[in-house]
């Protein structure tokens, strides 16, 4: 926020709306070329008002009394400005007006105030990744204010549909450093969704009287979450790599394909997370870092083989980890090499393994969606339904089963007719 401001106070009379030869006096506060007018609720004779000197002419008792009153108002407004400046707080013409009129408690709350309050609120309740995402959204909001509104903050009660529309347009022009293109529609919607959560908090705190999002509609583009088919997964599993680096990357990816455990949670796994389950088999029992929900996953043979491969291995012993530790950036970079060697023509990312577990390994093999939701650590079935695709081979199998049912019914009907005819 700016540390220096242009500031001025002047008085003016509304001479166009004079009543019975008297005019209403206003104080105009200007901060950084932004104005706010305050009605002083005091009328003076129009013929005594001096527009150049901004006060009443003459030495009459009425003129002296009115001019003394204006001096008092000037002192009060200037003191409010000085106090805000001393405290290092936001200084705007509207805020000075709110302080003077006694409306500052809530009406003077700004967008920066609610972001600061929200940041403190989520410090110990959200995962670090979610906190970071809110921080990115906050940065975009204030960049928008600086570049498009030429200010560093605004009042919450200034938020409206127009503000949201202009902010969305601003986001469509953002081209993050190192990214191949500007922000996509769904990414823009995510930033607006986070802003909505922050502003809704202000509404519940009664810092604003109405919700500026009441007429706003989120418009997400439908996306197809890529996953590996059964054939591609087997091809990946069976590939022999000369490079130990790529071999470990493949193992981490395949482990996620058969457990559904995300990158960050796999990196946090230690031998203590491997326990004997109620069925006598080995399970992974951990908590999702993203939501802090407990995840219990029985290990399929493919996943257990990978765990055993790295048991007492130097790369896991040094970190006391269950599997090799690798940064997310390097892992996703090396996965491009893996896909090239295996011949998989898809943009292979580590998160695709979680999609593969949900779609190819579990749902397409008849595992109920409720069970898959539990394995993935989802708090809502609706989240899991994103993965609930019906694959072509599943459609084919189901339709063949239906053909057999109908065929058997037809045969039974024919036998029954023949039996009836012979009798």
Residue 165 forms part of a structural domain: yes
34 class by beta-carbon count within 10 Å (0-12 exposed, 13-18 middle, 19+ buried):
middle
Q: How many CA atoms lie within 13 A of 109 on its CB side?
A: 20
> In this predicted model, what pLDDT tens digit does every residue of 77-135 receive, in sequence order?
999 898 888 877 778 888 888 888 765 555 568 899 999 999 999 988 887 778 899 99
Q: What angle do CA 242, 245, 247 make, to 5 degrees?
A: 60
Alpha-carbon gap, residue 239 to 251, rounded angstroms: 11
Does the global pTM surpass 0.85? no
Interval 39-50 mean pLDDT: 91
Q: What percent of the chain has pLDDT over 90?
A: 47
- Percentage of the chain exceeding pLDDT 70: 91
Q: What is the pLDDT of residues 164-223, one digit of tens each?
A: 999 999 999 888 776 667 888 889 999 999 999 999 999 998 888 889 999 999 888 776
Average pLDDT, rounded, for the chain:
87
Q: Does 332 map to a domain? A: yes
Joined together, the tokens standing for residue 407 give 């065929």
Q: Are 101 and 121 within one domain?
A: no
* 213 within some domain: no
Between the alpha carbon of residue 387 and those of residues 222, 226, 241, 261, 336, the distances in Å are 13, 10, 30, 15, 23
- Whether 304 maps to a domain, the answer reads yes
Nearest to 376 by CA among 265, 234, 243: 265
Are 62 and 186 found together in one domain? no
- The pLDDT, as a whole number, for residue 277 is 85
Domain check: are 83 and 138 in the same one? no
Inside any domain, residue 44: yes
Q: Which residue has the higher pLDDT, 395 or 212?
A: 212
Indicate the pLDDT class of residue 420, thresholds 50, 70 and 90. Answer: low
The DSSP bridge pattern shows strands 22-31 and 7-13 to be: antiparallel
Are 12 and 24 in contact, with CB atoms under 8 Å apart?
A: no
Q: Is 211 inside any structural domain?
A: no
**101 & 125 share domain:** no
The answer to whether residues 77 and 9 touch, using CB atoms and an 8 Å cutoff, is yes
- Residues 172 and 192: beta-carbon distance below 8 Å: no
CA atoms in the 13 A half-sphere facing the CB of 107: 11
Which of 106, 135, 167 is the last residue before a domain boundary? 106
Long-range contacts of 363-367 (CB under 8 A, 24+ apart): 363/387, 363/388, 363/389, 364/230, 364/391, 364/393, 364/394
**Contact indicator for 310, 322 with CB cutoff of 8 Å:** yes
Query: Is the Cβ–Cβ distance between 245 and 374 less than 8 Å?
Result: no
pLDDT of residue 388: 64
Confidence of residue 322 (pLDDT cuts 50, 70, 90): very high
| 227-234: average pLDDT | 92
Residue-level pLDDT at 157: 86
Average pLDDT over residues 153-173: 91
Lowest-confidence range among 152-156, 272-276, 412-416? Answer: 412-416
Reported as a single tens digit per residue, the pLDDT across 245-256 is 999 999 999 999
3-state secondary structure of 22: strand
By the 8 A CB rule, do 139 and 193 touch? no
DSSP assignment string, 376-418? HT-S-HHHHGGG----HHHHHHHHHHHHHHHHHHHHHHHHHHH
Beta strands (DSSP E) in 227-314 are: 274-276, 282-287, 294-298
Same domain, 262 and 143: no
Res. 392: pLDDT tops 60: no
The packing angle between helices 93-101 and 61-87, to 10°, is: 120
- Only one residue has tokens 């903050």, namely 153
Please indicate, yes or no, whether residues 146 and 99 belong to a single structural domain of this protein. Answer: no
Q: Cβ–Cβ contacts within 10 Å for residue 336, how many?
A: 11
Spatial neighbors of 29 by CB under 8 A, at least 6 apart, are 7, 8, 9, 35, 36, 37, 38, 77, 93, 96, 97
Domain end, chosen from 204, 238, 269, is at: 204
Torsion of CA 138, 139, 145, 151, to 10 degrees: 100
pLDDT in tens, 174-187: 887 766 678 888 89
Q: In which band, very low, low, confident or very high, does the pLDDT at 75 lie, cut at 50, 70 and 90? A: very high
In a domain, 221, yes or no: no
Same domain as 159, residue 141? yes
CATH number at residue 361: 1.10.443.10
Q: Are residues 402 and 361 in the same domain?
A: no
pLDDT category of residue 140 using cuts at 50, 70 and 90: very high
Average pLDDT over residues 322-342: 91
pLDDT score recorded for residue 194: 95
User: What pLDDT was estimated at residue 1?
Assistant: 44
Same domain, 49 and 69: yes
- Tell me if 8 sits within 8 A of 33, measured CB to CB: no
Q: What is the DSSP letter of 165?
A: H
Q: Is residue 216 part of a domain?
A: no
**pLDDT on residue 2:** 47
Residue that terminates a domain, selected from 79, 106, 133: 106
Examine the domain organization and report whether 381 and 236 are in the same domain: yes
| Secondary structure tally for the chain: helices H, strands E | 17, 8
Q: Is the pLDDT of residue 359 over 60?
A: yes
| 23 in the same domain as 70 | yes
Say if residue 380 is in the same domain as residue 321: yes
> Who has greater pLDDT, 29 or 422?
29
Give the separation between CA 78 and CA 74, rounded to whole angstroms.
6
Range of the domain at 186: 111-204
For the chain, the domain total comes to: 4
* Residue 166, both tokens: 């202009």
Two structure tokens written together for 45: 């004779």
């Amino acid at each position: 926020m700016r540390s220096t401001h242009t500031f001025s106070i002047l008085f003016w009379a509304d001479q166009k709306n004079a009543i019975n030869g008297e005019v209403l006096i206003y104080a105009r506060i200007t901060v950084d070329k932004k104005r706010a007018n305050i009605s002083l609720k005091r009328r003076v004779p129009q013929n005594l008002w001096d527009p150049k000197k901004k006060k009443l002419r003459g030495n009459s008792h009425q003129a002296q009394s009115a001019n003394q009153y204006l001096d008092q108002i000037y002192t009060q407004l200037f003191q409010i400005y000085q106090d805000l400046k001393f405290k290092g707080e936001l200084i705007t013409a509207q805020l000075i007006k709110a302080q003077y009129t006694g409306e500052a408690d809530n009406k003077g709350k700004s967008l920066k105030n609610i972001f600061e309050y929200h940041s403190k609120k989520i410090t110990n309740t959200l995962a670090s990744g979610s906190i970071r995402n809110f921080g990115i959204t906050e940065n975009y909001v204030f960049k928008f204010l600086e570049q498009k509104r030429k200010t560093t903050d605004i009042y919450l009660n200034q938020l409206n549909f127009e503000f949201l529309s202009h902010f969305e347009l601003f986001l469509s022009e953002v081209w993050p450093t190192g990214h191949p293109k500007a922000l996509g529609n769904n990414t823009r919607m995510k930033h607006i969704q986070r802003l909505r959560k922050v502003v809704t908090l202000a509404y519940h705190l009664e810092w604003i009287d109405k919700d500026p999002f009441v007429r706003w509609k989120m418009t997400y583009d439908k996306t197809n979450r890529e996953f590996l088919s059964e054939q591609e997964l087997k091809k990946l599993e069976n590939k022999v790599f000369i490079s130990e680096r790529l071999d470990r990357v493949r193992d981490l990816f395949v482990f996620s394909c058969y457990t559904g455990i995300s990158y960050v949670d796999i990196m946090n796994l230690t031998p203590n997370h491997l326990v004997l389950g109620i069925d006598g088999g080995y399970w992974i029992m951990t908590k999702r870092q993203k939501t802090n929900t407990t995840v219990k996953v029985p290990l399929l043979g493919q996943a257990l083989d990978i765990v055993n491969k790295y048991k007492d291995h130097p790369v896991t012993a040094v970190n006391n980890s269950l599997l090799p530790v690798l940064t997310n950036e390097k892992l996703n970079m090396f996965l491009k090499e893996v896909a090239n060697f295996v011949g998989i023509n898809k943009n292979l990312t580590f998160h695709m393994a979680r999609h593969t577990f949900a779609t190819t390994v579990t749902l397409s093999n008849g595992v109920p969606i409720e069970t898959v939701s539990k394995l993935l650590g989802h708090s809502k079935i609706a989240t899991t339904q994103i993965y609930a695709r019906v694959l072509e081979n599943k459609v084919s199998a189901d339709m063949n089963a239906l053909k057999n049912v109908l065929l058997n019914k037809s045969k039974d009907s024919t036998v029954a007719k023949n039996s009836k005819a012979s009798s």
